[in-house]
Amino acid sequence: MKFNLIASLTCALLSVAQAATSAYTVKAGDTIYGIARVGKINLTALGAVNPRLDLSRALQIGQVIQLPVITRTAGQPQAAVIRNASIRVSWSLPVQGVITTPYYGTPEHAGIDIAAPAGTPIRVSKPGTVTESRFDARTGWGWTVVVDYGGGALARYSHNQMNLVRVGDTVQPGQVIARLGSTGNSTGPHVDYRVTFNGVPVNPLSLQ
């Protein structure tokens, strides 16, 4: 059963890689997530037709990437329309501080550590819904908040001194959701900030 599942996924990715594509030239302010969101393209499919594209790195102006043409049923358009003005996605870091641990892209550290004085407000940059607000002792993250921004985007803020939101709360850009701390497995006041798109870790700095 496991072999059949892996084989099916492999065949699906090969089909995507061999499918028709359209070229897109990166403009100022573009991000991987913005392009994928507006074009309604799964990040896995985007990576399959761009094997040399590192999804964790910032795009470069003038860079050309391939967009998979989406096959649809009769009567529907066959490809998503990408409007340049629509894919400007603005993200900001949750706190102003010193990045003490960069993004490694590994399960052990698929985010960045930002050090700042204890009690510093932690803010969100996009509207969303709080899906977690708890003390996470199992992973060592301490007080943690997870915000679902929609479109497959999740942001996790950990090692907080205290959480200021509850599960189900709707948050707005700039809203304070927690206070920076050193709870859990931590050696000093900082926030462990992680972002994923459709479950794929992304370097938060590539979204700036």
For the chain, give every residue range classified as CATH 2.70.70.10: 98-207
Condensed to tens digits (0 to 9), the pLDDT of residues 106-154 reads: 777 789 999 999 999 999 988 999 999 999 988 899 999 999 998 889 9
Report the CATH architecture of 98-207: Distorted Sandwich (2.70)
CATH 3.10.350.10 describes domain 2-86: yes
d(CA 84, CA 147) in angstroms, rounded, equals 27
For the chain, give every residue range classified as CATH 3.10.350.10: 2-86
For 35-45, b/e burial (b = at least 16 CB within 10 A) is bbbbbebbbbb
| CB atoms inside a 10 Å sphere around CB 186 | 17
pLDDT score for 73: 44
Contacting residues for 71 by C-beta, under 8 A, at least 6 apart: 19, 78
Residue by residue, DSSP assigns the chain as -HHHHHHHHHHHHHHHHHS-EEEEE--TTB-HHHHHHHHT--HHHHHHH-TT--TTS---TT-EEEEEPPP--TTS-SSPPPPGGG-B-----SS-SEEEE----BTTB-SEEEE--TTPEEE-SS-EEEEEEEEETTTT-EEEEEEEEETTEEEEEEEEEEE---TT-EE-TT-EEEEEB--SS-SSSEEEEEEEETTEEE-GGGG-
d(CA 163, CA 146) in angstroms, rounded, equals 11
Show the tokens assigned to 162.
Answer: 């205290």
pLDDT score for 90: 56
Tell me which of 47-56, 96-105, 138-147, 178-187 is least confident: 47-56
Is 50 exceeded by the pLDDT of residue 89? no
Condensed to tens digits (0 to 9), the pLDDT of residues 154-169 reads: 999 999 999 999 999 9
